[in-house]
Amino acid sequence: MSISHRRRKSKGSAAERTLIHAFWSEGWAAVRVAGSGSTQFPSPDILVGNNKIKLALEVKITKDKKKYFPKQEIENLNFFAEKFGAEPYIAVKFAKEKFYFIKTIYLNKTTSSYVSSLELCKQKGCLFEGLISFFS
């Protein structure tokens, strides 16, 4: 693993932990999934739930204006969510912004990727507080 890859991974893990704290503090339960992205079965980065809903989340942070997702990553997330009985969501943090939560069906699609921008997140997604209000 290269140093830059390791640094990205560690930033990603810190972001996952931050979100897990946030969900617990709202009375939800949240876990990080072991070996996400490296096991033979599809799995999200984190799984959160309450008595009403379960969310399967991929967590991303970016310095760019857009975030691209390999097609397979989104399709795996959708597949996992369908089997588990959860809603597939991306939690994405753009530079100097809070986390936005957007359902995978609202991502834009190119030939090889899915894409989200801050504008799309503002239009079709919601902030943490909005998500919690909606599903509580």
Footprint on this chain of a copy of itself (rule: CB under 8 A): 20, 24, 27-36, 41, 43-44, 47, 49-54, 80, 83-86
**CA nearest neighbour of 118 among 92, 82, 136:** 92
Classify residue 89 by burial, with Cβ atoms within 10 Å: 0-12, 13-18, 19+: buried
Instruction: Pick the closer one to a copy of itself by CB: 48 or 121.
Output: 48
Min separation Cβ 12 and a copy of itself, Å: 13
Instruction: Pick the closer one to a copy of itself by CB: 30 or 107.
Output: 30
Residues marked as catalytic:
36
Min separation Cβ 41 and a copy of itself, Å: 6
Instruction: Pick the closer one to a copy of itself by CB: 54 or 103.
Output: 54
Min separation Cβ 60 and a copy of itself, Å: 18
Q: Which own/partner contact pairs does 92-96 have at CB distance under 8 Å and 24+ positions apart? A: 92/59, 92/60, 92/61, 92/62, 92/67, 92/116, 92/121, 93/15, 93/60, 93/61, 93/62, 94/62, 94/64, 94/65, 94/67, 94/118, 94/121, 95/62, 95/63, 95/64
